[in-house]
Amino acid sequence: MRKILPTACLLALCLTGIAEAQLEIVITEGIKRRPVAIVPFGFTGDSAPAPLDVAGVIAADLARSGRFAPTPERDMLQKPTVAADLDFSDWSILGVEAVVIGNVIQTGDNAYSVQFQLFDVFRRDQLVGFRFNDVSRGTMRRAAHRAADMIYEKLTGIKGVFDTKVAYVTAEPQGRGTLYSLIVADQDGENAYKIMESTDPIMSPAWSPDSRRLAYVSFEGNRSSIFVQTLRTGNRIQVSSRPGINGAPAFSPDGRKLVVTLGGVDGNLDIHVLDINSREIDRLTTHRAIDTEGSWSPDGRYIYFTSDRSGGPQIYRVPASGGTAERITFEGSYNARPRLSPDGKKLAMVHNDRGNYRIAVLDLERRDFLVLSTGRQDESPSFAPNSDTLIYATRAGQNGVLETVTADGLIRQRLTSGRADVREPVWSPFQLALD
Amino acid sequence: MTQAKLLFLLLAAALAAGCSSSRSIPDPEPTEPAYGSEGGSAATDGFDSDGFGSGEEVDYDPSGGELARIIYFDFDSAELRPEDTDTVARHALLLANDPRLRVRLEGHADERGSREYNIGLGERRAQTVRRMLLIQGASAGQISTVSFGEERPAAMGSDESAYAQNRRVEIKYTN
Question: Which pTM was predicted?
Answer: 0.87
Q: How far apart are CA A118 and CA A68, in angstroms?
A: 14
User: CB atoms < 10 A from the CB of A248, how many?
Assistant: 32
CB contacts, 8 Å: B158 with chain A: 376-377, 395, 398
Residue B11 has pLDDT above 90, yes or no: no
| Nearest residue, CB atoms, B15 vs list A8, A261, A267 | A8
Q: How far is CA A363 from CA A30, A158, B150, in A?
A: 22, 18, 30
User: Which helix (DSSP H) or strand (DSSP E) does residue A346 occupy?
Assistant: strand A346-353
Test B47 with A222 for CB contact under 8 angstroms.
Answer: no
CB contacts, 8 Å: A181 with chain B: none
Q: How far is CA A205 from CA A218, B118, B143, in A?
A: 10, 16, 29
The confidence score (pLDDT) of residue B40 equals 28
Q: How far apart are CA B6 and CA B10, in angstroms?
A: 6
The confidence score (pLDDT) of residue B23 equals 79
The confidence score (pLDDT) of residue A415 equals 83
| Nearest residue, CB atoms, B27 vs list A177, A234, A395 | A234
Four-residue CA torsion sign, A93, A101, A127, A344: positive
User: What DSSP line would sit under A58-127, residue for residue?
Assistant: HHHHHHHTTSEEEPPGGG-S---SSGGG--HHHHHHTT-SEEEEEEEEEEETTEEEEEEEEEETTTTEEE
Rounded to two decimals, the ipTM of the complex is: 0.90
Test A265 with B140 for CB contact under 8 angstroms.
Answer: yes
| Nearest residue, CB atoms, A18 vs list B40, B140, B156 | B40
Q: Check residue A309 and report its DSSP letter.
A: T
The more confident residue out of B121 and A14 is: B121
Residue of B nearest to A305 (CA): B117
The confidence score (pLDDT) of residue B51 equals 52
Per-residue b or e along A376-407, where b marks 16 or more CB atoms closer than 10 Å to that residue's CB: ebbbbbbbbbbbbbbbbbbbeeebbbbbbbbb
Test A17 with B40 for CB contact under 8 angstroms.
Answer: yes
Question: What percent of chain B clears pLDDT 70, i.e. is strictly above it?
Answer: 70
Instruction: Write out pLDDT tens, residues B72-104.
Output: 999 989 999 999 999 999 999 999 999 999 999
Q: What is the mean pLDDT of the segment spanning B113-128?
A: 97
The confidence score (pLDDT) of residue A137 equals 94
- Residues A34 and A68 sit within 8 Å (Cβ to Cβ): yes
Q: How far apart are CA A181 and CA B84, in angstroms?
A: 37
The confidence score (pLDDT) of residue A55 equals 98
The confidence score (pLDDT) of residue B29 equals 47
Q: How far apart are CA A328 and CA A326, in angstroms?
A: 6
The confidence score (pLDDT) of residue A2 equals 39
User: Which helix (DSSP H) or strand (DSSP E) does residue A149 occupy?
Assistant: helix A140-156
Test B41 with A313 for CB contact under 8 angstroms.
Answer: no
Query: Chains A, B: CB contacts under 8 A, how many?
Result: 233
Cα of first residue to Cα of last residue in chain A, in angstroms, is 31
The more confident residue out of B17 and A145 is: A145
Reduce the DSSP state of residue A174 to 3 states and report it.
strand
Test A379 with B19 for CB contact under 8 angstroms.
Answer: no
Residue B158 has pLDDT above 90, yes or no: no
Residue of B103, B104, B115 to mutate when probing chain A, most A C-beta within 10 A: B115
Test A176 with B147 for CB contact under 8 angstroms.
Answer: no
Residue of A nearest to B150 (CA): A201
Q: How far apart are CA A236 and CA B22, in angstroms?
A: 12
Q: How far apart are CA A152 and CA A67, in angstroms?
A: 9
Question: From the CA of A17, how many Å to the nearest CA of chain B?
Answer: 4
| Nearest residue, CB atoms, A292 vs list B14, B40, B120 | B120
- Residues B162 and B156 sit within 8 Å (Cβ to Cβ): yes
CB contacts, 8 Å: A232 with chain B: 26-27, 30-31
CB contacts, 8 Å: A244 with chain B: 123, 145
Instruction: Write out pLDDT tens, residues B33-43.
Output: 332 222 222 32
Residue-by-residue pLDDT tens, chain A, 435 positions: 333 333 333 333 322 334 444 556 666 666 789 999 999 999 999 887 899 999 999 999 999 898 999 999 999 999 999 999 999 999 999 999 999 999 999 999 999 999 999 999 999 999 999 999 999 999 999 999 999 999 999 999 999 999 999 999 999 999 889 999 999 999 988 889 999 999 999 999 999 999 999 999 999 999 999 999 999 999 999 999 999 999 999 999 999 999 999 999 999 999 999 999 999 999 999 999 999 999 999 999 999 999 999 999 999 999 999 999 999 999 999 999 999 999 999 999 999 999 999 999 999 999 999 999 999 999 999 999 999 999 999 998 878 899 999 999 988 888 876 668 999 999 999 987 654
pLDDT band (50, 70, 90) for residue B157: confident
Residue B159 has pLDDT above 70, yes or no: yes
User: CB atoms < 10 A from the CB of A211, how many?
Assistant: 20
The confidence score (pLDDT) of residue B14 equals 46
User: CB atoms < 10 A from the CB of A144, how many?
Assistant: 29
